[in-house]
Amino acid sequence: DPETMTTAIARGNPAWPTRETVQDYAAAAASLKRGLERLDRERREAPQGAAYHDFLERMAHLGLGWLHANQAQHTEALVHFENILEHRPDDLLANLGRGNSLMGLQRMAEAEQQLSRVLQIDPNNPYARAELGSIYLSRGDIEHTAQNCTTISYLRGNRPLPISTARLTAGRVSRVG
């Protein structure tokens, strides 16, 4: 039934913290997978709920992607983020999750492209800007790092960030030296 399907997906999704998601990733993943199985059955039996089913499928795949990413299982996480992007290429959360997992796999050029895609969708996204800033910093590109930090600072109402251009430069020097 739809309530049971919804409950299974909600219980396992890290966006809605429950005992399962906070304490036991395996139980959370099992709950999400049960929800997807029920969703498949429901789609066959009641195709009139397509929009609701699409929403639940998206939430389940986002949840599984985040669960895998939180455990540094980025290859597995990519499968779930890419599942969403096949049908919804402009999905902000799936694009961001894919970018983060690409970073976790040290595929920085791809991550940069993915995070730039996030900024096409949401030019002020502070998470994408912060991740891009860290990519630029890892390359020693202080100028682009500082630009992203300045943008984030502006978006935060000009409150200072915990990192400054001087600290970025010092960090680069200490890394290189």
pLDDT tens column, 43-71: 777 766 778 888 888 988 998 999 999 88
For residues 15-37, average pLDDT: 68
pLDDT of residue 74: 96
pLDDT beyond 60 at 150: no
Q: What is the DSSP string of the chain?
A: -HHHHHHHHHHH-TTS--HHHHH-HHHHHHHHHHHHHHHHHHHHH-GGGHHHHHHHHHHHHHHHHHHHHHTT-HHHHHHHHHHHHHH-TT-HHHHHHHHHHHHHTT-HHHHHHHHHHHHHH-TT-HHHHHHHHHHHHHTT-HHHHHHHHHHHHHHTTSPPPS--HHHHHHHHHHHH-
pLDDT beyond 50 at 21: no
pLDDT tens column, 71-84: 899 999 999 999 99
pLDDT of residue 6: 61
Q: Which range among 22-26, 40-44, 173-177 shows the weakest confidence by mean pLDDT? A: 173-177
pLDDT beyond 70 at 1: no
Rounded-to-integer distance, Cα 176 and Cα 66, Å? 33
pLDDT beyond 70 at 38: yes
pLDDT of residue 23: 59
Rounded-to-integer distance, Cα 107 and Cα 59, Å? 25
pLDDT beyond 80 at 146: no
